Structure 1
Amino acid sequence: MPLTNATQRCPACLSASRSEVLTVRENMFGISEDFDYSVCSDCGTLALITVPEDMAPYYPSNYYSVDLDPERALGAPVVRQFAQLVISSALWGRGVFSGVASAVIPRRQLRTLVSVLGSIRRAGLANGRETRVLDVGCGSGILVFALGLAGVQDVVGVDPFMSSGRELSTGGCLIKQDLSEVEGSYDLIMFHHSLEHVPDPEASLKEALKRLTPGGRVLIRMPTPSSHAFATYGAAWVSLDAPRHLVVLSRPGLETLCQRLGAGVVSVADDSTSFQFWGSEQYLLGIPLMDRRSVMVKPSDAPFSKAQLKAWEEQAAVLNKEGRGDQAAWVVAPTPTPTPTFP
């Protein structure tokens, strides 16, 4: 039977009240199905009411987080050498090569890599290149590969939906397993747009916190409805991504969830892009994300000019500074236990 959340409390703040039910169409692949999300009236978190019994049809082989082999994308000698320079600069240096990253790494999934590495740098690699890093929901392992390329010596990626585990040429390791099966402890545990894909984010975050070394941190990158884009587009907001996104946490929802687990948000940095605009506008026009007319697939056939795309990118930068972007990177850490004082 499908999992039904209709009578459950908000997975973030545990409120039993909801302001509305939002009907959202699957718009990535153009599957003609609608899905209902409850919207918490207290914190604004969205939760899919009925989770399909079989999610496999919504994660086909061309789903973009699993169809990109990092050894092919970054493994060719010339590309690898140049990518190593860019990635190392973003992670350890002054980032002077970040501006040419889009020329070195042309695919959209990889163009964001420098931004992602920036969020990792802000989260902190406490032990430098010896920092133990775990990437939860790693997909094809592109980030695990990149961190190894930058010299991080102990990087593991886990994902229960990968076809099989393997070792990468940069030293990283990909394992087909769930977070609850992971052994050992880590200095940095990361959820890069994976926490919204699990039915119980509290359980996943709890498992992560249990596996932190003393002083360790959790990095969560995800979309949020606490944003200009969701307020503008509603059910057409591209990052709702029904039905793959099971729980889309609001900003206050995540903070409440962390507090309940004895943790707190150390920092947050918005990192939204023009995707929030062109993706949502495409949906309003009936253009799925993987359609040949999509900016994602063939920008030259998309119904937007280069000037419009540039304007949206500039607007995204403003929203990020204002804390109203549609995605962000949160650094979470256990709250220190107060030292008891005695009279």
Structure 2
Amino acid sequence: MKPFLKLKDYSVSGEAFELLLDEDLQMLVTRPQPENLNPYYESETYISHTDADQTLADKLYQRVKSFSLWMKIRLINTYANRNKSLLDVGAGTGDFLVAAKNNGWSVDGVEPSRDARLRSREKKMELLPSMGELPEKEFQVITLWHVLEHLPDLEKQIAKLLRHLADEGVLIVAVPNYRSYDARHYKEFWAAYDVPRHLWHFSRTAIDKLFAKHGMKVVRTSPMVFDPYYVSLLSEKYMTGRQHFFRALYRGTLSNISGWLTKEHSSIIYVLGKK
């Protein structure tokens, strides 16, 4: 693998890391990958585990979340059958599963973070701590919203997930795209690299090739158009020490325009089915 970029963990530890390019898959790999990642998630700023609403970035994230939930529900409803069974991996504090349940889905969720599971429980949504705790059942839809990049032993985890996917079911994966405009602009300050919590960094080619090895194909993609604004806001802070709202708005808009022209959006939702 070739050296690609040197950067650091801006949100928790300040430690230095490197991204290496897997030229075959066109995927970046974080090095080193700590054996114990738990300390790198132990931060009040890790928003998907805390429901934080303190900083400008937090407030933007929370305001957009309700609209994003509606969009996610609309997407999974496209693939509903009589079963309407859903598994969400990396469920955070459970908001998506609560919304899906309210829309008639039978739901299960996995979330390793104890704090996030406790917050989910407050919303009457019980989550399992690991995939190993799942019952022996298949699901019509399995979702990973910005989760695939966090999974150690990536190939094994994908194989494990697919054992729970019904033959006519779909796997929905949302991940950042390191070939987007905002990634190229912010370089080592791009917040969506989020090392070492993000172990892998995907391109469209990487998703195609990675899942083809498991008998899956991409049947649909769509952009997450709010992501470049949130990511740019954090990236401005990492690069300059301040959250420059209008600069982030400008860069996020340029990223979306570039994405529509090149298909290289800041974050992309992939819908995958069995070949």
TM-score by length of 1: 0.69
Matched with 2:143 is: 190
1:309 Cα offset (Å)? 4.2
Contact 2:233 2:244 in 1 (8 A): no
Q: Which moved more, 1:261-270 or 1:159-168?
A: 159-168
Q: Which moved more, 1:159-168 or 1:258-267?
A: 159-168
- Deviation string, structure 1 residues 33-55 (Cα, Å, up to 9, x no partner): 11122122344311112222332
What is the SS of the residue equivalent to 1:331?
Answer: strand
Matched with 2:270 is: 330
Is 1:127 the equivalent of 2:127? no
Q: Check 1:165–1:64 CA distance in 2 against 1; reply closer, same or farther (3 A cut).
A: closer
Is 1:303 the equivalent of 2:256? no
1:116 Cα offset (Å)? 4.5
Query: Partner letter of residue 331 of structure 1?
Result: V
Distance (whole Å) between structure 2 residues aligned to residue 122 and residue 283 of structure 1 = 33
Matched with 2:111 is: 159
Distance (whole Å) between structure 2 residues aligned to residue 134 and residue 253 of structure 1 = 23
Matched with 2:16 is: 34
Identity, % of aligned positions: 25
Distance (whole Å) between structure 2 residues aligned to residue 20 and residue 166 of structure 1 = 40
Distance (whole Å) between structure 2 residues aligned to residue 116 and residue 175 of structure 1 = 21
Matched with 1:247 is: 200
Q: Check 1:148–1:61 CA distance in 2 against 1; reply closer, same or farther (3 A cut).
A: farther
Contact 1:58 1:243 in 2 (8 A): yes
Query: Partner letter of residue 14 of structure 2?
Result: S
Matched with 1:298 is: none
Contact 2:176 2:192 in 1 (8 A): yes
Q: Check 1:310–1:47 CA distance in 2 against 1; reply closer, same or farther (3 A cut).
A: closer
Distance (whole Å) between structure 1 residues aligned to residue 212 and residue 147 of structure 2 = 20
1:314 Cα offset (Å)? 2.9
Distance (whole Å) between structure 2 residues aligned to residue 313 and residue 230 of structure 1 = 11
2:228 aligns with one of 261, 265, 273: 273
Could you list the runs of 5+ residues in structure 1 that have no partner in the other structure?
1-17, 74-104, 288-292, 294-301, 336-343
Could you list the runs of 5+ residues in structure 2 that have no partner in the other structure?
none
Matched with 1:45 is: 27
Query: Partner letter of residue 276 of structure 1?
Result: V
Is 1:318 the equivalent of 2:237? no
Contact 1:155 1:173 in 2 (8 A): no
Distance (whole Å) between structure 2 residues aligned to residue 106 and residue 281 of structure 1 = 16
1:115 Cα offset (Å)? 2.7
Contact 2:88 2:97 in 1 (8 A): yes
What is the SS of the residue equivalent to 1:233?
Answer: helix
Query: Partner letter of residue 193 of structure 2?
Result: L
Q: Check 1:316–1:232 CA distance in 2 against 1; reply closer, same or farther (3 A cut).
A: closer
1:269 Cα offset (Å)? 0.9
Q: Give the length in aligned residue pairs.
A: 264
Matched with 1:12 is: none
Bigger helix share: 2
Distance (whole Å) between structure 2 residues aligned to residue 23 and residue 252 of structure 1 = 23
Is 1:222 the equivalent of 2:175? yes
Q: Check 1:44–1:283 CA distance in 2 against 1; reply closer, same or farther (3 A cut).
A: farther
What is the SS of the residue equivalent to 2:187?
Answer: helix
Q: Within 5 A, what are the aligned runs for 1:172-187?
A: 172-176=125-129, 178-183=130-135, 184-187=137-140
Is 1:283 the equivalent of 2:235? no
Q: Which of these two proteins has the greater Rg computed from alpha carbons?
A: 1
What is the SS of the residue equivalent to 2:47?
Answer: coil
Matched with 1:338 is: none
TM-score by length of 2: 0.84
1:248 Cα offset (Å)? 1.3
Q: Check 1:146–1:38 CA distance in 2 against 1; reply closer, same or farther (3 A cut).
A: same
Distance (whole Å) between structure 2 residues aligned to residue 167 and residue 41 of structure 1 = 40
